[in-house]
């Protein structure tokens, strides 16, 4: 396991550097083909001929949380940038009619959509990753927190990004009104999260879990971090600690290069 997992982690590093190179050159199409033609077949050999997880995502998206979780699980995966090619976008549409990311294709070809479901799947499939707490009552709270984030916070981001989807007559005034209301509700929802769930987040000497990575990613949008910096400075500092974790920091740097 040691050698195989080191090799697979090495492959993940190649994937990472492929993405960094792609980001530098700003040629998004390359990323998909680098995986498809060079790294993927090599990884197939080292993974015993089995297929691997394929994560459909894009930079600065919820896919960062799943990528972080896959790294914590120490398993090989292939990142498919859905904005890099029409083939990638079409493949995503086949798996997820909402065409949303993250979408995770499983080694058996099946697909899981919805961030919370994907994280719970990984936590249950790779218990050693500690993505989900082992103790039942802690696990219950972690799952509650994941569902809280996607239903209250991630959903509000969807309204802010696409207000026209939620309006019968999307005139500019209605759009602005809806976006402003959703943003305020989003910021308040994070305050509630901070008050309810801080005890479930990881401490310095522990491994970050699914709740940590999802909170660290979804707080990055629509001014939530800035709002929390002012209203919940302790929670804000906690998020920054998650950002700095050595396994997570490179993933976040790929999604949010400074
Ligand atoms: N409920 C989904 C929401 C996913 C989502 O909204 N993803 C965004 C990117 S961060 C997306 O794909 N947006 C494109 C769209 O909705 O058309 C989840 O929890 O994963």
**DSSP assignment string, 195-245:** HHHGGGSPPTTS---HHHHHHHHHTTSTTHHHHHHHH-HHHHHHHHHHHH-
The closest residue, in CA terms, to atom 6 on ligand 1 is 158
Residue 199 has a pLDDT of 74
Residue 205 has a pLDDT of 64
CB 120 within 8 A of CB 75: no
CA of 162 to the centre of ligand 1 (A): 11
| Strands ordered across the beta sheet of 111-113 | 77-81, 53-57, 103-105, 111-113
**Where do the domains of the chain lie?**
1-40, 132-255
CA of 127 to the centre of ligand 1 (A): 26
The closest residue, in CA terms, to atom 15 on ligand 1 is 100
CA of 220 to the centre of ligand 1 (A): 14
Upstream peptide bond of 182 is cis (omega within 30 degrees of 0) = no
Residue 125 has a pLDDT of 97
Which residues, given as ranges, of the chain have pLDDT below 50?
1-50
Exposed, middle or buried, 98 (CB in 10 Å: 0-12/13-18/19+)?
exposed
Contacts 24+ apart (CB under 8 A), 200-204: 200/138, 200/141, 200/142, 200/145, 201/238, 201/242, 202/242, 204/241
Closest ligand 1 atom, CA of 150? 19
The closest residue, in CA terms, to atom 17 on ligand 1 is 100
Q: Which of 66, 114, 154 to mutate to test the pocket of ligand 1 (most atoms within 8 A of CB)?
A: 154
Residue 28 has a pLDDT of 36
Q: Which CATH number does the domain 132-255 belong to among 3.30.1330.20, 3.90.930.60, 1.20.1050.10, 1.10.357.10?
A: 1.20.1050.10
Residue 7 has a pLDDT of 36
Instruction: Return the H-helix or E-strand segment holding 54.
Output: strand 53-57
Residue 235 has a pLDDT of 94
CB 84 within 8 A of CB 29: yes
DSSP code for 59: T
Measured from CB, residues less than 6 Å from any atom of ligand 1 are: 61-62, 99-102, 114-115, 150, 154, 158
């Amino acid at each position: 396991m040691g050698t195989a997992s080191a090799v697979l982690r090495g492959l993940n590093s190649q994937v990472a550097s492929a993405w960094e190179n792609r980001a530098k050159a700003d040629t998004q199409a390359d990323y998909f083909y680098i995986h498809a033609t060079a790294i993927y077949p090599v990884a197939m050999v080292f993974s015993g001929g089995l297929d691997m997880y394929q994560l459909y995502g894009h930079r600065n998206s919820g896919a960062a949380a799943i990528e972080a979780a896959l790294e914590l699980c120490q398993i090989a995966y292939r990142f498919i940038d859905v904005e890099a090619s029409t083939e990638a976008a079409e493949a995503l549409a086949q798996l997820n009619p909402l065409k949303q990311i993250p979408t995770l294709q499983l080694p058996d070809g099946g697909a899981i959509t919805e961030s919370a479901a994907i994280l719970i799947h990984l936590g249950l499939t790779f218990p050693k990753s500690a993505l989900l707490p082992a103790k039942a009552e802690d696990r219950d709270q972690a799952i509650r927190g994941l569902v809280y984030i996607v239903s209250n916070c991630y959903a509000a981001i969807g309204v802010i990004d696409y207000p026209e989807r939620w309006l019968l007559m999307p005139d500019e005034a209605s759009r602005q009104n809806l976006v402003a209301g959703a943003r305020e509700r989003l910021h308040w929802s994070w305050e509630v999260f901070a008050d309810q769930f801080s005890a479930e987040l990881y401490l310095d000497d522990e491994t970050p879990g699914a709740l940590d990575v999802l909170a660290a990613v979804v707080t990055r949008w629509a001014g939530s971090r800035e709002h929390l910096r002012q209203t919940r400075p302790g929670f804000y500092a906690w998020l920054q600690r998650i950002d700095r974790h050595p396994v997570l920091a490179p993933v976040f740097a790929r999604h949010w290069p400074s």
